[in-house]
Structure 1
Amino acid sequence: MIAAVVLALYTVAAAIWLPRLMRVASWADRAPRLAIAMWQAAGVSVVGSAVLAAFALAVPADVVGHGLAGLFEACAAMLSDGAGLTAAGAGVLLVAGATVVRVLSCGAVVLARTGMERREHAELLGLLGRRDGDLDAVVLDYDERLAYCLPGRHAQTVITTGALRSLSPEQVAAVLAHERAHLHGRHHLVLAAAHTLARAFPKVPVFEEAKVEIARLIELLADDVAARRHPRVQIAAALVGLATGRTPAFALGAGGETALVRVRRMLHPASPLKRVERLAGVLSVGLLLSGPTAVALVPGVSSFLAHHCHSLLTL
């Protein structure tokens, strides 16, 4: 019972306060990959603690004290004829099941919708665009300065003739490297996961802010990957040239509203995280992922140890 209450309180507190704590962190722009992992772990932690709170309330701790066989037998009895399951326990298990089903269904909707939009856009590119072997990209005859990638089974990078006219060859190479970083990193799946949780639980601060922050951080991450092979000044110049471009919502583009902020970051790079800071971040991710599970297991493990220690003492 105590574990269920702790997990329920943590779910509410984390959903509200985790975004505020993470917003204060000034290191996120210095280590976008780690920051993305922390936002993802925060979302998993909140959903996981809610589901585990329901199971901790529905399944008595002393059931675990008889080992896995006893636990499976009790769970099977609960599922078959409701033996040992109270009305409150049945209610919270239904809520937990509904939570899982909602996350999965929203994920399916997000993937299906974006997949359909990308397929339709890919067909349009096949009609209006031309493949440039030297650039390894599709060139679209369009005056607006755009460069973006279209993820999916037939992933491709796209650049418009407007962008080619306004950018130098070095800047074009840099911006296409940025787009390929999105494709190789499968950043569309990271975004899909964030959009799934925000869609499944609207107005919840941790999911709403994670969706926005992850979208921003993957752009920083792609900039950093591109900067490994191209001068940062060329990336910054390309971002300035593409800042006003309006990338399709289902694609990942180099420009957009964060471009000017990223220009300053490219021209004035901050020092990378120290080893201690990075280790602290990794441990925080691990704590977010494992903490709720550990709390849920404490009563069962305590009961298990008490039962078996008592059995050994009576021999």
Structure 2
Amino acid sequence: MTLVLALVALALVLPWGAAAAARRLAALLPPREACAALTGAALLLAGGTVAALIGLFHVPFLAALEQVPLPRAAAEWPATVPVAAAAGAALALQTVLVVRRWHEHRSVLARAWSATGDAVPDGDLLVVPGPDPQAFALPGWRGRSGRIVVTTGMIRALDPAEREVLFGHERAHLAGRHHLLSVTAYLAAAVHPALRSLRPALDLHLERWADETAASSVGNRRLAATAIARAALAAASTGQPGKGHGPLRSVGSGPVPQRVEALLRPAPVRPRARGAQAAAVGLATAVAVSAVLALGLAYGLHEYVEFTARALLSG
């Protein structure tokens, strides 16, 4: 049983190293590929953590299926009950956090649509009256297509060319379904604390993805950088926290100076450097090991219960 405990400990510790490898890899990739790496890592590592906890939690139930009395199972492995109870408590807490975060995600969408749903957009663009410069991508809701919401204050803050950059940025969020990637990382962070570090990195690369798409649509990276900086400064001048964490993606979210600096450089390309290859190998290895550990844990627990049942029958 010591081996099983070692597998569990390793499965629960591994996401710390895997998250660091995912962030390193994302920093070396173009924004779109970086978002895929971060979201995939968050989802797979969260799944491995849940699998490990379920494996521990269901030991008493396995014993019951094999007709092994719980006292006998506890005698063979004294930690059976406390470890199963701890795993069950962790799973219950994770469930509560995930459900709460999913409800928050849906509530934000519902409130945003309630506030703007009756207005008639011009295509996918909805301009709402208001002095505060704000703009965000509002994902689809209950059969209705997504739209870009922009205040008249933001329209006045930008010239026509800069507005095209803003619209292209927000359309990229809608087309790429960035809110789904964001909520995936948000829910995964409720499963394991190591995965919380992936969300800020994902937020940055989602904005970089939209920035690059907007720059490509207007064919002028310097114009895109200027428009992003001006829109972000205008939104920040209201003193209101910028949207961007969750379903509503905003041009002013993330580290804007870093985004502007990236736009002033040549367009990113897929790297072939050894650093990127090493980070990719490290991340793939960590995720693969996590999956193997989950399978090994399930097998080890099964063998443990079988051994206990045989010992009971022979005794």
Shift of 1:38: 3.9
- Is 1:273 equivalent to 2:270 in the alignment? yes
| Alignment gaps of 5+ in structure 1 | 60-72, 305-315
Taking structure 2 as the reference length, the TM-score comes to: 0.72
Counterpart code for 1:266: L
1:194-213 matched pairs, under 5 angstroms: 194-199=185-190, 204=193, 206-213=194-201
- Measure how far apart 1:181 and its partner are: 1.8
Residue 286 of structure 1 and its aligned partner are, at CA, apart by 3.3
Taking the aligned partners of 2:155 and 2:121, their CA distance within structure 1 comes to 14
1:288 alignment counterpart: 286
2:228 aligns with 239
* Closer/same/farther in 2, CA of residues 94 and 228 from structure 1, 3 Å limit: farther
SS at match of 1:132: coil
Give the partner amino acid of 1:55: G
Alignment partner of 1:158: what SS? Answer: strand
Does residue 181 (structure 1) correspond to residue 179 (structure 2)? The answer is no
How much has 1:189 moved relative to structure 2? 2.4
Partner of 1:183, secondary structure, is helix
Q: Which residue of structure 1 lines up, in the alignment, with residue 310 of structure 2?
A: none
Give the residue type in structure 2 aligned to 1:295: L
AA matched with 1:175 = L
After TM superposition, the score normalised by the length of structure 1 is 0.72
1:15-54 pair list within 5 angstroms: 15=16, 17-18=17-18, 25=24, 28=27, 30-40=29-39, 41=41, 44-45=44-45, 48-49=48-49, 51-52=51-52
Given residue 6 of structure 2, which amino acid in structure 1 is its aligned partner? V
Shift of the alpha carbon at 1:184? 2.5
1:230-262: CA deviation from partner (whole Å, max 9, x where unpaired): 322332122022112143465210123522321
Identity of aligned residues (%): 24
Q: Please tell me whether the aligned partners of residues 139 and 160 of structure 1 are also in contact (alpha carbons under 8 angstroms).
A: yes
Q: Which moved more, 1:139-148 or 1:281-290?
A: 281-290
- Which residue number in structure 2 is paired with residue 107 of structure 1? 98
Could you tell me whether the CA contact under 8 Å between 1:149 and 1:252 is conserved in 2?
yes
Contact 1:77–1:83 (Cα < 8 Å) also in 2: no
Q: How much does 1:266 deviate? A: 0.8
User: Contact (CA 8 Å) 1:42, 1:288: kept in 2 or not?
Assistant: no
Distance 1:11 1:243 in 2: 39
Match of 1:144 among 123, 132, 136: 132
How far did residue 159 of structure 1 move? 1.2
- The AA in structure 1 aligned to 2:255 is T
Report SS of the residue matched to 1:99: helix
| Equivalent position to 2:107, from 116, 121, 139 | 116
Measure the CA separation in 1 of the matches of 2:162 and 2:28. Answer: 23
Of 248, 254, 259 in structure 1, the residue corresponding to residue 256 of structure 2 is 259
What is the alpha-carbon distance in structure 2 between the residues aligned to residue 143 and residue 123 of structure 1?
20
Please state how far the C-alpha of 1:276 moved relative to its aligned partner: 6.7
Deviation at 1:226, TM superposition (A): 2.9
Q: Which amino acid aligns with 1:141?
A: P
Check the 8 A contact 1:3/1:295 in 2, yes or no: no
Distance 1:152 1:82, change over 3 A: farther
CA RMSD of aligned residues (A): 3.7
**In structure 1, which of residues 146, 151, 159 is the aligned counterpart of residue 150 of structure 2?**
159
Are residues 194 and 27 of structure 1, via their aligned partners in 2, closer, same or farther at CA, if it must alter by over 3 Å?
closer
* Cα distance change on mapping 1:58 and 1:229 into 2, 3 Å: same
